[in-house]
Structure 1
């Protein structure tokens, strides 16, 4: 009944929406380009400004958070829909921890991503989420992390990534470094989580049907959130037209790939006598939940987490290093100081590099915004009233740009803001050493916070530090763009550098 009413309203106001769409398509010289709070009108809310800033929604919402009292504002959408956008750490703690049971993924999030993520861990609440998190947590103990760094990451780095970079350096070839890092991360997550090696990172760098389909499914699923009304994409899906037809084809390809992984693992388990050294997929299949579709959903979710987040973080990190030679020099100094240590100990003790990666993700978080839906009425710590069914979005990208959290130099890439000098008696280290000082997860929710805080946080840092050490020890990463050209930060489910990250690799001289 509700959807029929929305459809009638949509059809009634369709001419107005088309007019607004046409009138707000001019991205340059937009009347809404300055930092002002959006105006709201009857029925259409702030649709004019939402549409005008569609191409830069992350940055636009960030600007609004920065000028809003208490870093929180309420965005008015079509037909009375309201959404709270916040960068206030107290509000983040409220929704992610204190009132965790009230703020869930919610109906809108689940329905928009159901075709792609199904009932995977990132698209569910309650007991389903708890079960998946409990089983997955076994993959992140110290023994598993050491195995991941020494047996998976280091092997892939030495045997696949470095040879490809060396060949490109010798030929002065331009590579899309974002693509290279995504391939590397994809192979790693499949190997450690599923015991399967897709061999996506190889010298030919040929595209796979699965990878292209995964990118398309991610992008189209995300764009469902940007439709003025969900009834629009639902009609397209019902008629199997436009982007929804493309999504159906892409999801079919993704699910076929993931199902084949599940089938092969099932076959392997049937032939196996015990579960010693079991991977995460083996644990799920041996837990009593062996429904193929359900386990396929789990596989897709973990591919998304492992492939796109670390590669996004590393892409922006290498770009920032190229613009900040002082920081690159300090990172390289640390890498060389630790080079004699065993691989796991080396990356575990890379304090300055850890700080530099944290600083990079402050400015360019892999997941720039995350949204929860209220399942009951509530009042936020700043007094904002939230009604049942309203969405509350905490804006991670904006929080990294708040002066009250990071100081007047927040725009600087300065790893030292994460470090303290600690006196030491070790003569080899001088009179002091760096000590990493983390920020609380509600001021820096790059890895979420509260009960849903990212299980793979430590694994991600270890992988990234090993990659940074392996690459920078031998190569300089030089952006292959014109001087002064800034890459564009865009986001679907995770962040990306629009158009990729073209680079040249230069071999370092021994004396550098």
Structure 2
């Protein structure tokens, strides 16, 4: 009992010291700025007028002559200027890496994975990933995995739910389960079965969620010393983070062990098996597993959630999606990846949905050497520079006076999908860090949307509520996506 009491006291002492040091550093170096923007950020007075922080940033950027602002208390320059985006991601790419600060924050969780790497390590991983993900056999395998999960789990689950009167279903939760099953199968041949009708809780999914959330929270502490001290003494959120990472690591190691045990005699199509033909480094393979889980799970669920929220209020758009699919498929099931490419209007709908609700609302880099952006903004060495995709989708200077209108037609020319420059639309990043999984992500989103709209009518349970976003690496609706679902008459 004495030992337990002493441990509790020690924890409180450590937490107090961490809080004191963090607060002291924060007050000493940051809050001295009393400009209007910094005052609004520190006091959260922006929340009196805006539901979400990203909407406040959008307001500030719209009213900036250069479409760039600086939050002094965060040492963060934020821009929605597409010339600046191209400069950071292409022209002066080497001067704007992810940076050591992010490497440290996400290092325990993501390790040396491609999404947390710079320099030669990043180039090597990207080259390997590009070789594998660019293969047609990989796209065909992805198509099979996605459609199996849709036909055997997603549709049966929603069908059974639609037959319960007045029931409300959280589609965001369904999409998170669906995308987790798919990415696990696609990446390393494991089926967590999160979308079974019993709605089981996967230990891996729970641990992965917790590790993602707590890793992101590190960036919100007053000083990195706070989380580093807590990690040193293994207390509080850092203790929970290490426990969750341990669960994720144990799973990744077991999957790698099983693949090594099977050897090259078995013809496995999953991504991990393909990577293992070029390297046997268990640490590197572990980082690959975690990185692809992060990329393929939450971003897909976020894209689907935002798009369904929009489509539930656009019956004319839904009708056009159904009509186009009927013409292309002749009322038959999709049989290959190439058929989806013929659905130009659906492609436009998906792009328009992500313009207004990007799965990753902003992306940050750190400036290596003093620089000047194309709009004239001076960037001091060590400054965090953020391009804000959410705000860019709402800029009249980029999309015109109807930028807030959901309008798929803006992506079509003579009925054919037309893709804008990625620096204007950096949803999949742009330049040298362009997302390698872009085509597979679009395949998954389009397949789900098409399957749901062909079979069901979906209405929002709370149509007048404006989405609120939870803090995190991806855009998550704080209240989920509660809907009512009804089977369409005459469709089986």
Alpha-carbon distance between aligned partners in 2 of 1:371 and 1:14, rounded to the nearest angstrom = 26
In the alignment, which residue of structure 1 is the partner of 2:265? 273
Aligned-residue CA RMSD (Å): 2.7
Distance 1:277 1:10, change over 3 A: same
1:46 aligns with 2:49: no
Greater alpha carbon shift after TM alignment, 350-359 vs 335-344: 335-344
Distance 1:257 1:118, change over 3 A: same
Greater alpha carbon shift after TM alignment, 496-505 vs 318-327: 496-505
1:387 aligns with 2:380: yes
Alpha-carbon distance between aligned partners in 1 of 2:235 and 2:57, rounded to the nearest angstrom = 31
Trace 1:111-260 onto structure 2 (pairs within 5 A). 111-141=104-134, 143-144=136-137, 146-172=139-165, 173-260=167-254
Trace 1:335-484 onto structure 2 (pairs within 5 A). 335-340=325-330, 342-421=335-414, 434-481=415-462, 483-484=463-464
In the alignment, which residue of structure 1 is the partner of 2:323? 333
Distance 1:113 1:149, change over 3 A: closer
In the alignment, which residue of structure 2 is the partner of 1:36? none
In the alignment, which residue of structure 2 is the partner of 1:310? 300
In the alignment, which residue of structure 2 is the partner of 1:74? 70
Alpha-carbon distance between aligned partners in 1 of 2:323 and 2:184, rounded to the nearest angstrom = 32
Alpha-carbon distance between aligned partners in 2 of 1:51 and 1:311, rounded to the nearest angstrom = 32
What 5-or-longer segments of structure 1 have no aligned partner? 1-6, 22-38, 422-433
Alpha-carbon distance between aligned partners in 2 of 1:380 and 1:9, rounded to the nearest angstrom = 36
Per the TM alignment, residue 448 of structure 1 is displaced from its structure 2 partner at its CA by: 0.1
1:494 aligns with 2:474: yes
Are the equivalent residues in 2 in contact too, given 1:374–1:389 (CA < 8 A)?
A: yes
Are the equivalent residues in 1 in contact too, given 2:105–2:219 (CA < 8 A)?
A: yes
Greater alpha carbon shift after TM alignment, 352-361 vs 279-288: 279-288
Alpha-carbon distance between aligned partners in 1 of 2:57 and 2:129, rounded to the nearest angstrom = 34
In the alignment, which residue of structure 1 is the partner of 2:6? none
Alpha-carbon distance between aligned partners in 1 of 2:25 and 2:66, rounded to the nearest angstrom = 38
Per the TM alignment, residue 103 of structure 1 is displaced from its structure 2 partner at its CA by: 0.6
Aligned structure 1 segments of 4 or more residues deviating by more than 6 angstroms: 7-10
Per the TM alignment, residue 140 of structure 1 is displaced from its structure 2 partner at its CA by: 2.6
What are the Cα deviations for residues 48-89 of structure 1, in whole angstroms up to 9, with x where unaligned? 624515883322222221211211122202xxx622100101
Per the TM alignment, residue 192 of structure 1 is displaced from its structure 2 partner at its CA by: 2.0
What are the Cα deviations for residues 280-302 of structure 1, in whole angstroms up to 9, with x where unaligned? 212332323x2222211110110
Distance 1:63 1:45, change over 3 A: closer
Are the equivalent residues in 2 in contact too, given 1:368–1:491 (CA < 8 A)?
A: no
Greater alpha carbon shift after TM alignment, 313-322 vs 200-209: 200-209
Distance 1:9 1:166, change over 3 A: closer
Per the TM alignment, residue 148 of structure 1 is displaced from its structure 2 partner at its CA by: 3.1
Alpha-carbon distance between aligned partners in 2 of 1:130 and 1:74, rounded to the nearest angstrom = 31
Per the TM alignment, residue 242 of structure 1 is displaced from its structure 2 partner at its CA by: 2.4
Give the structure-2-normalised TM-score. 0.88
Q: Secondary structure at the match of 2:93?
A: coil
Per the TM alignment, residue 8 of structure 1 is displaced from its structure 2 partner at its CA by: 11
Are the equivalent residues in 2 in contact too, given 1:178–1:311 (CA < 8 A)?
A: yes
Distance 1:413 1:235, change over 3 A: same
Alpha-carbon distance between aligned partners in 1 of 2:445 and 2:471, rounded to the nearest angstrom = 20
Alpha-carbon distance between aligned partners in 1 of 2:465 and 2:475, rounded to the nearest angstrom = 19
Are the equivalent residues in 2 in contact too, given 1:58–1:490 (CA < 8 A)?
A: no
What 5-or-longer segments of structure 2 have no aligned partner? 1-16
Are the equivalent residues in 1 in contact too, given 2:364–2:387 (CA < 8 A)?
A: yes
Alpha-carbon distance between aligned partners in 1 of 2:158 and 2:389, rounded to the nearest angstrom = 32
Distance 1:119 1:488, change over 3 A: same
